[in-house]
Amino acid sequence: MTLLAQALAAQLGIPALTGALVKTRVTEPQKEMLVQAEKRANVAGAFAANGDVAGKQLILVDDLYDSGATVAESARVLARAGAASLVVLTLTKTIHGDN
């Protein structure tokens, strides 16, 4: 995803903050879970803001949107770190379980 984010940033003429969100622990693959609550619990506390995102308008680039649990947790972390706004771009969307 880093290369895609960098290419998108170059096209838009904006900086790519590829390390602004980091994973802090190993999680199970979301696609293997069928229940929304499991997916939320799996990613809860699994990310941290890295660097200064306060006041910035961010684009979060991800490969897959499944239940939205990862995006929601990422957005929560970035908002808590002071991000002014967040737009999410994904390459594909799938639905599993009770989404």
Average pLDDT over every residue of 29-50: 94
Domain ranges of the chain: 2-93
Cα 78 to Cα 97: distance, rounded to the nearest angstrom: 27
pLDDT at 94: 82
pLDDT at 45: 97
Cα 15 to Cα 40: distance, rounded to the nearest angstrom: 30
pLDDT at 96: 59
pLDDT band for position 86 (50/70/90)? Answer: very high
Cα dihedral sign, 45-48-53-58 = negative
44-57 pLDDT tens trace: 999 999 999 999 99
* HEC per residue, 58-98: EEEEEEEECCCHHHHHHHHHHHHCCCCEEEEEEEEECCCCC
pLDDT band for position 75 (50/70/90)? Answer: very high
